[in-house]
Amino acid sequence: MALETGSFIDDLVDTNPPGTDPKKQGDDHLRLIKSILKGTFPDAPRAFHFPNAPAAKTGNYTVVLADQNALITVDATAAARTVTLPTFASVFAGFSVTIQKSDTSVNIVTVDGNGAETINGDATKILRNPYDSITVTSDGSDWKVRSRGADEVEHTGFTNVEFVRKTATEIVNNSATLQDDDDLFVALAANEIVAFQCSIIHDGNATADFKMAFTIPVGASIQWSLPNANVSTANTLASPTVQTASGAAFSMEAQTARRAQFAVGVVRNGGTTGNLQLQWAQDTATVVNTQVYLDSFLLVTRV
C-alpha cells in the first residue's frame, strides 16, 4: 500500500505497515520514522527528559541532571530553605528547571548558583511570597532567568521591590511596651541590603503619645529616620535624627485626630536571615486606644 507522509510524530499512522506490504517497503517506513523524529526533535544532541510530576522537597536540595524540565516545589514552613543549582559542567547548555516556594510562611527559599556560578549575574535569587517560582536555563556560563512567578514582586511590577500593607486597623491599649506590628514586616536574606519606606497613620491622645522602632536580624545594621516628624509633644518640627540600633524607638505626639509618620532607612543584613519588623506602642501607658490604621504600609527595595 502507499506510504503515509508526515513531518511530526502525530502524522504517523499506527496501523502501517499492514502485514500484506512487501518487505522491501520496510526501508521506506524506517526512513520516514527517522525523518519524523528529526523533525520533531531538531538539534537534539542528547537525551530529552519529559517533565515529570512535581518533585516536592521539605529541606535543602541540590538539583541533578535528572531534574531537567522538572518542577521542584519547596516547602519552607519549618525553616528557610536553599535549592542549589547543578554545576555547569554536570549538565549542558539548555538545561532548564523550575523551582517554586509551595508554602504560605514568611520563610524564604534561596535559589543558589553552585559555588561562584551565577544566576543572571547574581549569586542567588530569592523566592519570598507564597507560590513564587523561577525558571532558569543554563547557557554554560550563567543561569538565565526565563520566567518568574507573578508573586516575585508583590503588587508593584518593579523588580526587587516588595510592598506590604496593613489589612486591618490594629489597637494597643495601656501599654508602653513595643510590640511587633501584625502586618508590617519583610523577610531579609543573608547578606542583602535593602532600602525601606514606611508610612504609618495613627491616633490616640496627647497623654499616651506614640513611639515606633524597627528590629532587624542579629548581625545586621540599620540607619533610619523620620524626616520632618514631630519628635516631641511640643508639636514642633525638628531636624531629623537617625536611629542606628535594632529596637531603638522614636517618640512622637499623638492626638485623637489621626497623625502620619513617614520613616526611611537602610538595612545591611549579615549572615543571619530574619525580618525587618516594625514595632510600636504608646509612649506612656494610658487607658486609651492607640491605633495604627488600615493601609499603613512598608515598601522595601533590594539594592
* Cα 82 from Cα 59, distance rounded (Å): 8
Q: What is the DSSP string of 54-82?
A: -EEESS-EE--GGGTT-EEEE--SSS-EE
Q: Which three cell numbers stand for residue 260?
A: 502620619
Q: What is the DSSP string of 2-37?
A: PPP--SSGGG--TTPSPTTS-GGGHHHHHHHHHHHH
Contact 191, 270 (CB under 8 A): yes
Contact 119, 143 (CB under 8 A): yes
Q: Which three cell numbers stand for residue 209?
A: 503619645
* Cα 133 from Cα 72, distance rounded (Å): 9
* Cα 141 from Cα 176, distance rounded (Å): 55
Query: For residue 6, what pLDDT is reported?
Result: 81
Contact 164, 297 (CB under 8 A): yes
* Nearest residue to 251 via CA among 285, 282, 287, 223: 282
pLDDT for 18-54, tens place per residue?
Answer: 777 777 777 888 888 888 888 887 777 777 666 667 7
CA 164 to chain centre: 13
Query: For residue 210, what pLDDT is reported?
Result: 96
pLDDT for 181-193, tens place per residue?
Answer: 999 999 998 889 9
Query: For residue 86, what pLDDT is reported?
Result: 96
pLDDT for 68-91, tens place per residue?
Answer: 889 999 999 999 999 999 999 999
Query: For residue 236, what pLDDT is reported?
Result: 53
* Nearest residue to 173 via CA among 60, 7, 291: 291
Alpha carbons within 13 angstroms on the beta-carbon side of residue 30 total 5
* Cα 222 from Cα 204, distance rounded (Å): 28
State the amino acid at position 193 in one-letter form.
I
Query: Quick one: how many helices (H) and strands (E) in the chain?
Result: 1, 21
Block means of pLDDT (10 residues each) for the chain, length 303 residues? 76 79 77 85 72 84 92 94 95 92 90 93 87 93 79 46 92 97 93 95 96 97 84 56 95 93 96 94 97 96 87
Q: Residue 17: is the preceding peptide bond cis (ω within 30°)?
A: yes
Q: Which three cell numbers stand for residue 44?
A: 537534539
Pick left, alpha or beta for residue 183 (phi over 0 → left; psi -120 to 50 → alpha; otherwise beta).
alpha
Query: For residue 151, what pLDDT is reported?
Result: 42
